[in-house]
Structure 1
Amino acid sequence: MTNNPVILTGDRTTGPLHIGHFAGSLRNRLRFQDSHDQYLLLADTQALTDNAHDPAKIRRSVMEVALDYLAVGIDPEKSTICLQSHLPALAELSMLYLNFVTVARLERNPTIKDEIRVRGFGHNVPAGFLCYPAAQAADITAFRATREPVGADQAPLIEQTNEIVRRINAAAEKDILPEAEAVIPRSGRLPGIDGKAKMSKSGGNAIPLSASPDAIATAVRAMYTDPGHLRIDDPGKVEGNVVFAYLDAFDEDEAAVQELKAQYGRGGLGDAVIKRRLNGVLEALIAPIRQRREEFAKHPDHVLNVIRAGTQRAREVTEATKRDVVNGLGLFQL
């Protein structure tokens, strides 16, 4: 352990990661691992909150997500990769924290309300899903994380985490747990290839980080552009054009992208040209990740040992925090 700030981040284990994850979080994680004590949580317990009907998918996806972490360059010597379900302190803290939050407050959380709507739960919301803010508070505080990289839509969860922290500290009459700062990236969420606001594995509108050249080309050809741009000479709309959103996210030649936008807006530039450029940019990004992933996949025992070692380190940290909370609250000791 160092004096660096602590960051907790991670992903639900519901399938391989995609380029939206790379743009939104993985790039930052590569940067953070040199300046922070970073924990990456393979969130299999959280994945159960809306996938309890298919635990086999969650089990398979643990290795898939771990492979993606290693393939993009996460260094297990710098970042601790750990498995949520094998950290019992997280579940114990979640249960404790549920006594410091009301059902009404959980239901008012904007992030949870939106996710319930998107998933179409109606009145059949899994209890684990509704209680997710308390569970995330347990995840964050168990590692004593003070910085939490999240999208703007997830910020209410950090706010609720800090509410729970303040209640715990007030009950203990001392500061047992630190509050966390939401670190929100400047770039917005990358849209799906179909132009919908959210790229997702389940929505079928994402490009996996392990995508083959043919899969990349197929996805780029299918990308939503400007339906009113029927002829090359027609002025085209840049706003809402998925191809330009992806070029903004991944093309390192910003000046060239701006010139393409100007030309597209004036007319005289076809969709095929900008899609061809994006195809090359994405293949250059994904090819080395795909190659490293294939190499790591040949050695599953190594990947499993990385998870085991990281989980053991994480278990020591989270158990110590749980003891501090239990003692701070004055619970009975045996």
Structure 2
Amino acid sequence: MQDNRVLSGMRPTGQLHLGHYHGVLKNWLELQNEYDSYFFVADWHAFTTHYSDKIDLEGNVMEMVVDWLAAGINPNTATIFVQSKVPEHAELHLLLSMTTPLSWLERVPSYKDQQLKLKTKDLGTYGFLGYPLLQSADILMYKASLVPVGEDQVAHIELTREVARRFNHIYGREVDFEEKAEAAIGKMGKKQAKLFRSLRKSYQETGDDEAMVKAQALLQEQQNITLGDRERLAGYIEGVGKIILPEPESLLTKASKMPGLDGQKMSKSYGNTISLRDSAEAIETKIKRMPTDPARIKLTDAGDPNKCPVWQLHQVYSDSQTCEWVVDGCTQAKMGCVECKQPVIEAAQAELAPMQERIAKYQADPELIKQIIHEGSEKAREVAVETMAEVRGSMGITY
């Protein structure tokens, strides 16, 4: 497992909006400075719900990467790649499907939820049922220790952990596993080997979780053993076989507080978005058309900010002084709704103006975008090739 690696992706199904920026990209901006970050455009995943839609997938992929860069994702710090440029994802998905019970996929919460929400689409497909397993393959391919997700996605990470555990149980049983593990311990040096054996014994005999943590940390420090030996010994601590695909952990991200223009969560499905590329005029028009507290029919009618979607945007964009001005002006009928909306309009315009300048700069250099995608995908593929060599070896597909 790569203890400092995170992986996250996004489907290229249309224009990015402020919900994506506040809910995902801002988290990525922090992660890229703390972790070995892999961010990918999940173009195959777009087909799980949009297989029959006429979307410009190539254009969407390019424009999504442009938006990421304009938002501040740094290709020199993070690895940016496109899923379909790393065909090993499909192979791992196929091989994992051989050991994953059908019932595990049918119980994923989003499976039925999405079918209810997207009733106009025929989602009774093999690909839609299996998309959580493709997600698992995306994650396990890079042996990422952490996957940044919102609470609604934790179930997908739990599935990934189960899939990895089952695969390791079935294929981690090398014929000479114990001999190889003992040989690897011998390479650690007498003092370190003695400590490792003591920690392993403590964990296996008393279930001491602290001993497990210390033993894993000890392995990460070793310079004299290979990555394969390290993973073999990680399994040896637990009394199982070699850990081929390490189990990732969820990294709960800060929940997005970005409401849509109607007060619901900002989503293309609801048609309530402000796109990262909306002009200043479009932003002004959209916010001016926002519904407000229905009790405020006349200017002299007092209102309740908690019943107004505009107030939710003030909570995202406005400082405490402006928020106090809004509450006073609304509840005391001191100002109209158009006046109340003006600070939000200006804040959204100010947030997007510099980003749109950078978007224009990147759009003017499509070859640079192609180069970033190519280099990132090549780097990602190097990792994927190593993982698949190990997976094939454990399954006996080496002829």
Partner of 1:90: 89
Say if 1:9 and 1:148, in contact at 8 Å, map to a contact too.
yes
Q: How far does residue 233 in structure 1 lie from its aligned partner after superposition?
A: 4.6
Pairwise CA distance, 1:156: 1.2
* Contact 2:79 2:379 (C-alpha < 8 Å) held by counterparts: yes
Secondary structure of the 2:34 match is: coil
Aligned counterpart in structure 2 of residue 321 of structure 1, from 383, 387, 391: 387
Aligned to 2:243: 175
- Give runs of ≥4 in structure 1 deviating > 6 Å: none
Aligned to 2:128: 129
Identify the residue that residue 288 of structure 1 maps to in structure 2.
Answer: 354
C-alpha offsets along residues 255-296 of structure 1, whole Å, 9 cap, x if unaligned? 225414542563324322331110011001000001110111
State the SS of the aligned residue for 1:50: helix
Residue matched to 1:248? 315
Q: Give 2:200's aligned residue.
A: none
1:290 aligned partner, one-letter code: Q
Match of 2:368 among 302, 309, 318: 302
- Confirm or deny: 8 A CA contact 2:10 2:40 kept in the other structure: yes
Seen in structure 2, the aligned counterparts of structure 1 residues 155 and 260 have a Cα distance that, compared at 3 Å, is farther
RMSD of aligned C-alpha atoms?
2.1
For residues 90-109 of structure 1, the aligned pairs below 5 Å read 90-109=89-108
1:236/1:267 contact within 8 Å kept: yes
Task: Supply the distance in 2 between the matched residues of 1:240 and 1:163 (Cα, whole angstroms).
Answer: 43
Q: Report what 2:146 is aligned to.
A: 147
CA distance in 1, matches of 2:271, 2:113: 20
Seq. identity, %: 35
Equivalence for 2:214:
none
2:268 to 201, 204, 224: 201
Report the Cα offset of residue 102 of structure 1.
2.4
* Matched residue type, 2:304: K
In structure 2, the CA distance between the partners of 1:129 and 1:277, relative to structure 1 (3 Å rule), is: same
Q: What TM-score does the superposition give when structure 2 sets the normalisation length? A: 0.77
Shift of 1:49: 1.2
User: Runs of 5+ in structure 1 lacking a partner?
Assistant: none
- The aligned counterpart of 2:277 is 210
The question of whether the paired residues in 2 share the 8 Å contact of 1:40 and 1:80 is answered with: yes
Q: 1:182 to 1:52 in 2, by over 3 A?
A: same
Match of 1:332?
A: 397
Which string of whole-angstrom CA distances, capped at 9 and with x for unpartnered residues, describes residues 165-206 of structure 1? 11122222222222222223333453321233x322344221
Cα distance, 1:322–1:261 mapped onto 2, change above 3 Å? farther
Are 1:4 and 1:35, in contact at CA under 8 Å, matched by a contact in 2?
no
Structure 1 CA distance, aligned partners of 2:322 and 2:98? 52
Cα distance in 2 for residues equivalent to 1:57 and 1:69 = 18
Q: 1:333: Cα distance to partner?
A: 1.3
Distance 1:123 1:48 in 2: 12
What residue number does 1:227 align with? 294
Contact 1:12–1:42 (CA<8 Å) still a contact in 2? yes
Distance 1:318 1:242, change over 3 A: farther
TM-score (norm 1): 0.91
Amino acid at match of 1:92: E
Distance 1:135-1:221 versus aligned 2 partners, 3 A rule: same
Of 260-269 and 215-224, the range deviating more from structure 2: 260-269
Tell me the equivalent position of 1:185.
253
Aligned-partner Cα distance in 2 for 1:318–1:194: 43
Instruction: Give 1 or 2 for the bigger CA radius of gyration.
Output: 2
Total equivalences in the alignment: 328
Conservation of the 8 A alpha-carbon contact between 2:140 and 2:246: yes
Unaligned runs of 5+ in 2: 173-240
Which residue in the other structure is 1:272 paired with? 338
Cα-to-partner distance string for 1:29-86 (whole Å, 9 max, x where unaligned): 1111111111111111000111122365222100110110111111100011101111
